[in-house]
Structure 1
Amino acid sequence: MSTGLIIALIVIVAAVLAVAAVLTLRGRGPQHGRGLKRRFGPEYGRTVARHNGDEKAAERELTERVERHGSLREQPLDPAERQRYEARWTAAQERFVDSPREAVVEADQLLAELAEARGFPGGGQYDEQFAALSVHHADHVHGYRRVHSVVGAHANAGRDGDGRVDTEDMRAAMVEARSLFDELVGPPRSREESRTSTDESQLRAGQPHDSRSDGRGHLPGAFNKRHAKGS
């Protein structure tokens, strides 16, 4: 085989490989987007909204989250740790009746501590911690965002001379945040499925449920009291 023919074959093979690479990259765009939608669920739409509808910008952000935190391995809690966290959350729920603001602050702090204990970024790095949580708990992480936002709104209201934030917003944030708490504290999913709806009814109607129903002895008895009208 002549040298010229060999060179020609090399050029042809290189060209074919280059075309194949381009087609592969083009084909990955929509699939990559669909993969992110499946992985992040509602968080995908919220990220797009934060980028004013720019899906490419949102996908870049979500891809960066996966690259930074996708390899994170969650650390288990020992039974004693789990019981302590559960007791603190129950206390925060009971405190909500008379002191909604303090209860929400406690929930925010508790989620941050619990996430750090499970191996997520800590040290007050809320944004980084949230990003990591969204990669591994996308379906439940929004509750943490809501609680943290309510706490921030309280702080801003205090600086503005108005310390009131709607109690219903605080209640809804606590209810939604509970699903992430359950994910992090590590109960079986079969018991978790009914938790949000149960807490919703407790916080809304102020009625306790039988502690045997959740398998952990949680009986937020303070929910049978009259809710505070403000913070």
Structure 2
Amino acid sequence: MTTVLIIVAVVLVAALAFGLLRLQGRRPGGRGLQRRFGPEYDRTVARHDGDTKAAEHELAERVKLHGSLSERPLRPEAREAYTRRWAEVQERFLDSPRDAVVEADALLAQLARDRGFPDGDNFQEQTDALSVHHAAQVDGYRRVHTAVRGQGGTEEMRKALIESRALFDVLLADAPDKPARTDRHEAKGSAAA
């Protein structure tokens, strides 16, 4: 009888510990935010000079402000137009990298707006909202935006354009975080190759 009680007690303690760990992962702060935001969490902590409480407060505020945002679907003709415009950006990169990056920045802002994110006129607000829904892809957009302001040479612009393609793909897709099928071979030898 004593053995049975000990086994039951051990099972109950293990179940309680497991339940607490699961609850901790769902809380708005800490590991839940770290899991949700991934590299964006680390970037925000670094921006706050390692102050995780300040970074987590900022990220929790982003979730409050933009977490309930529902992405609007794109009509097939809009999706085709965006795909065509992105291919033109990639082609333009060969002859005019700066112009291509400027166009990519504007195209991403417009696509995000058309999907229901805040207008691209306020870049910080738009990237904050995008980070809540597409944390793994938003940094490429930031790099393109930085390149537009003239920071970095051709190689930096090329890398920024390549990285921003991930956000373009996920915004073009029907379902969040599911890349759209786009024709990547159309830009052979260009920035996305």
TM range (shorter): 0.7 to 0.9
Aligned partner letter, 1:49: A
Shift of 1:39: 0.4
> Which segments of 5 or more consecutive residues in structure 1 lack a partner in the other structure?
1-23, 155-164, 196-213, 225-231
State the SS of the aligned residue for 1:124: coil
TM-score w.r.t. the length of structure 2 is: 0.79
Q: Displacement of 1:125 after TM fit?
A: 1.3
The aligned residue for residue 173 of structure 2 is 186
Establish whether residue 95 from structure 1 lines up as the match of residue 95 from structure 2. no
Q: Please state if 1:171 is matched with 2:158.
A: yes
Q: Is the 8 A contact 1:143 1:173 kept in 2?
A: yes
Q: In 2, Cα distance between the equivalents of 1:52 and 1:220?
A: 40
CA distance in 2 between counterparts of 1:57 and 1:51 reads 7
- C-alpha change, 1:34 and 1:88, in structure 2 (3 Å) is same
Identity of aligned residues (%): 56
So what's the TM-score if we normalise by structure 1? 0.67
The alpha-carbon deviation at position 182 of structure 1 amounts to 0.1
1:28 and 1:39 map into 2 onto residues whose CA distance is 13
Residue 59 to residue 189, structure 1, CA distance change in 2 (3 Å): closer
| 2:134–2:177 contact (8 Å) kept in structure 1 | no
Amino acid at match of 2:156: D
Q: Name the structure 1 match of 2:113.
A: 116
Aligned positions, number: 169
Deviations 1:130-166 (A, max 9, x none): 0000000011110001000111235xxxxxxxxxx41
Match of 1:149 among 132, 146, 151: 146
- Partner residue of 1:220 out of 178, 184, 187: 187
**How many angstroms apart in 2 are the aligned matches of 1:191 and 1:218?**
20
Q: Whole-Å Cα distance in 2 between the matches of residues 29 and 221 of structure 1? A: 43
Amino acid at match of 2:164: A
Mapped contact 1:90–1:218 kept (Cα < 8 A): no
What is the one-letter code of the residue matched to 1:170? Answer: M
Shift of 1:223: 2.9
Tell me the alpha carbon deviations over residues 68-87 of structure 1, each in whole angstroms, 9 at most, x when there is no partner: 00000000001000000010
Task: Point out where structure 2 has 5 or more consecutive residues left out of the alignment.
Answer: 1-19
CA distance in 1, matches of 2:172, 2:76: 10
Distance in 2 separating the partners of 1:217 and 1:140: 18
Matched residue type, 1:186: A
Instruction: Tell me how far apart the structure 2 counterparts of residues 112 and 75 of structure 1 sit (CA, whole Å).
Output: 15
CA distance in 2, matches of 1:142, 1:111: 12
